């Protein structure tokens, strides 16, 4: 659980799972001396490479297989499956055996931290904050945009005691801008989807944040045989460092890239065939001026600088509905029956829209109020009658 903030693990997680190789293993000692293998990403690549090479040299008589292509595909799939399956994983925690809790904390958090009761309470505090973040998200909205759970592992449920005594407070902060967010979650292999300046930050060995995108990292089998069950031990990125370098490359972004990297407002699109369309006709005082703006394909960039006067229309008052959440709109961008400029620049070109039949307006968020869990006023529940489909004969 967590916000979209700076604590997200570096994006290389999406580079894929791994297999446990014997070539490169690190280990941590539990309280009974059992070693927990930590698989290296480099070892995984070596394992897959060796397995792929063995396809040609092993695996039965191809002459007995009618379709050589199917045989080769099957052999490759088997090699890949074997490369991402480890039969030599040691479960150093051994849940259920005496001392399992201490072994868990010592193995996952290190000898010094794992043995500290104070540190374990820090984990409990952070996990409780995560639970509260999720509850608030579903019932009240985002509690914090920069909160994150700062550990790779959770505490045991049996340690979640006296939660009512914990002091939990959130700082709302602000959501990441789109490109900033992508820089925090995409791996280097997806750098091609980003602007050139961002690609350099993700790929250049001299990038000030190249440590956010490791190509060799550890994975903890965590007692599991299959690679997809393993814990990827990526570093946590620094929100402050990421935002700093993104601010530095801002001037090198194109006008359209800067627009895409901004936080806009929610838009609402209504067809002329919808009853709601009539309610929106007088939102804009000067529909002709709006038509001129809509016909200009550059209006997307300079939207905030428009010298037009907008009306605000309340479609649903904030008092009277079950959840006390109103609905208001303003700023008409696309009046009906007018030409609208090409909305997206593509190589093939979409062309202008000669006779627009859709109106787009900004939605205005209603004031935040407590969620009321009840049926809307006027709702008519169906009668409680059993139908034939409700009968289950045994």
Give the residue ranges of DSSP H helices in the chain: 41-57, 68-83, 100-109, 111-114, 117-139, 178-185, 196-203, 239-249, 255-260, 276-279, 287-295
Give pLDDT, residue 209. Answer: 97
In angstroms, the Cα distances linking 230 to 2, 38, 262 are: 20, 10, 36
Query: Token pair of 340, please?
Result: 């609208």
For tokens 């979409």, the residue is 350
SS3 131: helix
Can you name the residues that pair with 358 across neighbouring β-strands? 271
Please list, in sequence order, all residues whose beta carbon lies within 8 angstroms of the beta carbon of residue 100, skipping any fewer than 6 positions away: 93, 94
Give pLDDT, residue 51. Answer: 53
Residues with pLDDT less than 70, the chain: 1-67, 279-338, 340-349, 364-367, 393-394
Q: What is the pLDDT of residues 237-252, one digit of tens each?
A: 999 999 999 999 999 9
Can you name the residues that pair with 291 across neighbouring β-strands? none
Which of 174, 179, 233, 176 has the alpha carbon at shortest distance from 202? 179
Which DSSP string do the residues of 185-228 spell out, in sequence order?
A: H--GGGGGGS-HHHHHHHH-TT-TTGGGS-SS-EEE-TT-SBGG
Count other C-beta atoms under 10 Å from residue 182's C-beta: 19
Name the strand (E) or helix (H) holding 359.
strand 358-364
Count other C-beta atoms under 10 Å from residue 195's C-beta: 20
Give the residue ranges of DSSP H helices in 193-345: 196-203, 239-249, 255-260, 276-279, 287-295
Ramachandran bin of 94, using left for φ above 0, alpha for ψ from -120 to 50, beta for the remaining angles: left
**Cβ 266 vs Cβ 355: under 8 Å:** no
Give pLDDT, residue 23. Answer: 36
* Helix, strand, coil percent content, the chain, rounded in steps of 5: 40, 10, 50
User: Is the dihedral angle over the CA atoms 270, 272, 277, 283 positive or is it negative?
Assistant: positive
**Cβ 47 vs Cβ 19: under 8 Å:** yes
Count other C-beta atoms under 10 Å from residue 303's C-beta: 16
For tokens 């374990």, the residue is 120
Q: Cα–Cα distance between 187 and 356 in angstroms, integer?
A: 40
Number of Cα atoms under 13 Å in the Cβ half of residue 139 = 10
Can you name the residues that pair with 30 across neighbouring β-strands? none
Query: How far out from the chain centre does Cα 206 lie?
Result: 27
For tokens 């994150």, the residue is 148
Which of 180, 316, 330, 172 has the alpha carbon at shortest distance from 265? 330
In angstroms, the Cα distances linking 205 to 55, 180, 181, 188, 218 are: 35, 20, 21, 12, 20
* Domain layout of the chain by residue ranges: 267-364
Angle at CA 366, nearest 5°, toward 362 and 371?
A: 140
């Amino acid at each position: 659980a967590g916000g979209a903030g700076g604590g997200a693990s570096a994006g290389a997680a999406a580079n894929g799972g791994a297999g446990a190789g014997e070539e490169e293993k690190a280990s941590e000692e539990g309280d009974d001396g059992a070693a927990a293998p930590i698989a290296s990403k480099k070892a995984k690549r070596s394992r897959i490479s060796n397995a792929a090479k063995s396809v040609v040299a092993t695996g039965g008589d191809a002459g007995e297989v009618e379709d050589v292509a199917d045989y080769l595909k099957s052999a490759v799939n088997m090699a890949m499956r074997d490369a991402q399956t480890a039969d030599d994983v040691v479960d150093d925690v051994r849940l259920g055996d005496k001392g399992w809790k201490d072994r868990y904390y010592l193995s996952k958090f290190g000898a010094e931290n794992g043995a500290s009761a104070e540190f374990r309470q820090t984990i409990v505090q952070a996990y409780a904050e995560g639970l509260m973040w999720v509850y608030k998200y579903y019932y009240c909205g985002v509690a914090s945009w920069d909160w994150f759970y700062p550990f790779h592992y959770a505490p045991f449920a049996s340690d979640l005691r006296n939660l009512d005594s914990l002091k939990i407070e959130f700082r709302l902060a602000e959501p990441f801008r789109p490109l900033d967010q992508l820089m925090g979650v995409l791996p280097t292999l997806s750098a091609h989807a980003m602007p050139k300046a961002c690609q350099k930050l993700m790929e250049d060995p001299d990038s000030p944040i190249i440590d956010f995108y490791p190509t060799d990292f550890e994975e903890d089998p965590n007692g599991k045989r299959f690679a997809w069950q393993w814990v990827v031990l990526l570093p946590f990125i620094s929100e402050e460092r990421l935002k700093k370098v993104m601010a530095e490359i801002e001037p090198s972004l194109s006008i359209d890239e800067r627009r895409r990297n901004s936080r806009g407002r929610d838009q609402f699109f209504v067809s002329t065939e919808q009853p709601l369309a009539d309610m929106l006709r007088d939102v804009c005082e000067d529909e002709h001026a709006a038509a001129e703006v809509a016909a200009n394909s550059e209006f997307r960039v300079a939207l905030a600088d428009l010298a037009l006067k907008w009306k605000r229309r309340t479609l649903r008052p904030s008092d009277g509905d079950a959840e006390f959440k109103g609905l208001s709109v303003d700023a008409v961008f696309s009046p009906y029956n007018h030409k609208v400029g090409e909305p997206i620049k593509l190589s093939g070109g979409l062309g202008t829209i000669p006779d627009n039949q859709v109106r787009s307006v900004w939605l205005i968020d209603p004031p935040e109020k407590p969620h009321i869990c009840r049926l809307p006023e006027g709702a008519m529940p169906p009668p409680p009658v059993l139908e034939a489909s409700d009968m289950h004969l045994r």
